[in-house]
């Protein structure tokens, strides 16, 4: 009875069925067709109407050829996402039918889906200027994104070539970096979700995301981030002192206020650094989720992702000079398993000692090896020793080949990779010497003596002249302390040979001394982004600031005949401890244009007085 009394399914309210309208249009009768377009474009269109239309269109996809792309365009603009479940299911069915019958509409369908990867725009005008951006308050955002991914999976199921058409669309739709943090966050998150069900796109998507992160990173130098934080801290303290005593707040308000402060304290003062921080947090979460299944490390997943990330590292990170944060995705994935860290070091070593690679790439690989060995807590001493053996042996062979020939003189252009390797070894020793000597001092000293630093330091290529002064001075102090080599005579001679460079400018002549002829940097210098650093800090070897007492200790050589179990007190406060405290370390950001005082871990020189 109910079925008989129910009205039949409505077709169009004019001119017969959809098929009739499309056939008429084909013969040149456009009246009904224009009415159809008008009805579909109605902003007040009801759910029932959308369902009726979609039902008819699903049965008539054969007629939706390229000539009707304007009509298809209107259908793709239908507000289907924020409708009832019935509308969503009908629309997904329509998309499947459309792309399987008319692949000519594949690109527009993909564009429509990808356009929903960011929150919808809301129109805001201020003084006749459109400052519209995404609507951050949409409660259904997560559900909408889930539906979009269902739609994309539906299309990919019907059209196997979807990935190759999708990738250019993902690239062209990537939001500009000045878009809101929420817009960037949603888009990157959705891109990474695509890699889960379209794995063939993973490498390209990771490349796209990391390329954008790199642009953000090089647009926010460490000094700018520090300056912004300092300015923000100063203005906060001024506001607090102004407000003090003006009004007494209720206890519950106080508690609420404290909560706000703690949540906002994770925000970066620099707007681009804030965006980078959010996106790096997403990337770290993605790496962790892919590599772990039910809380356990999945070796195969991890190896596959590692290969993709190394490929991106080679293509984008290695050729980029002085990026501060993005390279930490390699640091993070290597922390999951020692084998990965060793594979990464081996990969860098191959880059470094291959003479077919450009010199600049070889030098950067050397910087990465030194910084990684020094800073990665998860690398054990046995691996550090293996790497030092490899590097030092190569350096001795290099000296054998070069030290007596026509090129046996100090020149960065000729011997850049050699100097970079020297600096990597010196830097590693500064951070790791305590661990290398730990437990059995005599055995440790015997190992360090076997490296024959004296020959390296004294050779004609004169590495102490080229390496960063802060590294050279600490290396000199440590090697003197343990009577491995006496560097100060060479350092003094080098200092006398430094020729100041006079640069003319609008403010008059400026005399500069080049303290970084290698133009080297330490890629794993302290990580500064507040949210994402919570992932890195537990894995990171910090540096402790030198105290006056430590500087005194550096002057005292160890006594001959020290027993192997005697506890040596060298650099009590200076040596990196396992727990680690942020302080000053030799750093790549020392130059005459930077303030060494404000920068974490970057003195222009860690000065140790020469012994008399």
The 10s digit of each residue's pLDDT in 289-308 is 999 999 999 999 999 999 99
Mean pLDDT of all residues in 249-270? 57
Q: How confident is the model at residue 493 (pLDDT cuts 50, 70, 90)?
A: confident
Enter the tokens of residue 75.
């259908």
Predicted confidence at residue 184, as pLDDT, reads 94
How many other CB atoms sit within 10 Å of the CB of residue 131? 9
Q: Estimate the crossing angle of helix 47-59 against helix 18-26, to 10 degrees.
A: 60
Whether the pTM exceeds 0.85: the reply is no
The 10s digit of each residue's pLDDT in 355-379 is 999 999 999 999 999 999 999 999 9
Contacts of 10 (CB under 8 A, 6+ apart): 48, 52
Q: How confident is the model at residue 551 (pLDDT cuts 50, 70, 90)?
A: low
Predicted confidence (pLDDT) at residue 565 exceeds the cutoff of 60: no
Mean pLDDT of all residues in 477-500? 84
Ranking 80-89, 161-170, 195-204, 329-338 by mean pLDDT, the lowest is: 80-89
Residue with the larger pLDDT of the pair 559 and 589:
559
Predicted confidence (pLDDT) at residue 573 exceeds the cutoff of 90: no
Q: Which of 511, 507, 541 is nearest to 524 (CA)?
A: 541
Predicted confidence at residue 515, as pLDDT, reads 64
Predicted confidence at residue 248, as pLDDT, reads 47
Predicted confidence (pLDDT) at residue 603 exceeds the cutoff of 50: no
Predicted confidence at residue 289, as pLDDT, reads 96
Mean pLDDT of all residues in 447-472? 90
Enter the tokens of residue 328.
């930490």
| Cα 401 from chain centre | 39
Q: How confident is the model at residue 197 (pLDDT cuts 50, 70, 90)?
A: very high
Predicted confidence (pLDDT) at residue 60 exceeds the cutoff of 90: no
Q: How confident is the model at residue 555 (pLDDT cuts 50, 70, 90)?
A: low
Distance CA 74, CA 61 (A): 14
Predicted confidence at residue 63, as pLDDT, reads 87
The 10s digit of each residue's pLDDT in 30-44 is 888 888 888 898 888
Predicted confidence at residue 397, as pLDDT, reads 92
Distance CA 205, CA 209 (A): 6
Q: Estimate the crossing angle of helix 162-172 against helix 181-197, to 10 degrees.
A: 170
Predicted confidence at residue 128, as pLDDT, reads 58
Under a CB-based contact definition with an 8 Å cutoff, are residues 133 and 184 in contact?
A: no
Predicted confidence at residue 541, as pLDDT, reads 92
Predicted confidence at residue 509, as pLDDT, reads 54
Q: Which of 170, 177, 189, 197 is nearest to 111 (CA)?
A: 170
Q: Helix (H) and strand (E) counts for the chain?
A: 27, 8
Residue with tokens 């191959």: 350
Distance CA 576, CA 582 (A): 10
Residue % of the chain over a pLDDT of 90:
51
Under a CB-based contact definition with an 8 Å cutoff, are residues 280 and 534 in contact?
A: no
Ranking 165-174, 268-277, 575-584 by mean pLDDT, the lowest is: 575-584
Predicted confidence at residue 413, as pLDDT, reads 76
Apex CA 505: angle with CA 500 and CA 509, to 5°? 40
Residue % of the chain over a pLDDT of 70:
75
Highest mean pLDDT among 19-23, 94-98, 235-239, 486-490: 94-98
Distance CA 464, CA 450 (A): 20
């Amino acid at each position: 009875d109910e079925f008989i009394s129910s009205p039949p399914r409505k077709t169009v309210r004019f001119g017969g069925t959809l098929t009739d309208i499309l056939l008429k249009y084909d013969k040149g009768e456009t009246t009904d067709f224009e009415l159809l377009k008008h009805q579909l474009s109605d902003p007040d269109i009801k759910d029932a109407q959308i369902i009726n239309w979609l039902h008819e269109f699903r049965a008539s996809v054969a007629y939706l050829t390229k000539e009707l792309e304007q009509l298809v365009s209107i259908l793709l603009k239908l507000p289907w996402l924020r409708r009832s479940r019935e509308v969503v299911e009908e629309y997904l069915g329509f998309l499947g039918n459309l792309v399987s019958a008319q692949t000519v509409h594949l690109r527009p369908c993909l564009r429509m889906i990808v356009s929903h990867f960011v929150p919808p725009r809301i129109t805001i005008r201020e003084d006749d200027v459109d400052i519209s951006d995404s609507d951050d308050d949409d409660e259904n955002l997560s559900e909408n994104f889930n539906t979009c991914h269902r739609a994309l999976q539906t299309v990919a199921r019907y059209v196997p070539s979807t990935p190759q058409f999708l990738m250019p669309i993902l690239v062209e739709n990537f939001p500009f970096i000045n878009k809101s943090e929420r817009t960037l966050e949603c888009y990157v998150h959705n891109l990474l979700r695509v890699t889960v069900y379209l794995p063939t796109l993973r490498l390209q998507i990771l490349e796209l995301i990391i390329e954008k992160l790199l642009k953000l990173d090089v647009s926010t130098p460490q000094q700018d981030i520090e300056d912004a934080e300092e300015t923000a801290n100063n203005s906060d303290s001024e506001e607090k002192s102004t407000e003090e005593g003006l009004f007494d707040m209720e206890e519950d308000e106080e508690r609420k206020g404290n909560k706000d402060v703690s949540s906002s304290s994770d925000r970066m003062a620099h707007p681009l650094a804030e965006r980078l921080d959010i996106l790096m947090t997403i990337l770290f979460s993605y790496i962790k989720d892919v590599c772990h299944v039910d809380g356990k490390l999945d070796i195969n997943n991890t190896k596959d992702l590692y290969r993709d990330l190394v490929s991106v590292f080679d293509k984008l990170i290695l050729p980029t000079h002085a990026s501060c944060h993005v390279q930490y995705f390699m640091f993070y994935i290597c922390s999951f398993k020692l084998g990965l860290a060793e594979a990464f070091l081996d990969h860098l070593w191959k880059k470094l000692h291959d003479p077919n690679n450009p010199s600049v790439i070889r030098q950067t690989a050397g910087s990465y090896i030194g910084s990684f060995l020094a800073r990665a807590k998860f690398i054990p001493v046995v691996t550090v020793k293996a790497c030092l053996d490899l590097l030092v042996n190569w350096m001795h062979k290099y000296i054998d080949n070069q030290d007596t020939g026509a090129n046996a003189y100090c020149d960065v252009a000729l011997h850049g990779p050699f100097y970079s390797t020297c600096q990597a070894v010196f830097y590693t020793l500064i951070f790791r010497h305590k661990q290398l000597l730990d437990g059995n001092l005599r055995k440790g000293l015997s190992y360090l003596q076997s490296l024959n630093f004296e020959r390296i330091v004294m050779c004609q290529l004169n590495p102490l002249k080229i390496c960063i002064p802060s590294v050279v001075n600490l290396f000199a102090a440590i090697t003197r302390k343990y009577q491995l080599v006496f560097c100060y005579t060479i350092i003094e001679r080098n200092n006398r040979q430094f020729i100041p460079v006079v640069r003319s400018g609008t403010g008059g002549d400026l005399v500069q001394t080049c303290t970084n002829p290698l133009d080297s940097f330490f890629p794993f210098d302290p990580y500064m982004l507040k949210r994402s650093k919570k992932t890195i800090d537990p894995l990171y070897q910090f540096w402790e600031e030198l105290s006056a007492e430590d500087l005194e200790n550096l002057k005292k050589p160890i006594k001959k005949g020290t027993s192997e179990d005697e506890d040596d007190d060298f650099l009590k406060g200076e040596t990196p401890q396992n727990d680690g405290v942020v302080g000053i370390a030799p750093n790549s950001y020392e130059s005459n244009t930077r303030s060494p005082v404000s920068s974490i871990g970057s003195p222009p020189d860690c000065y140790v007085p020469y012994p008399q």
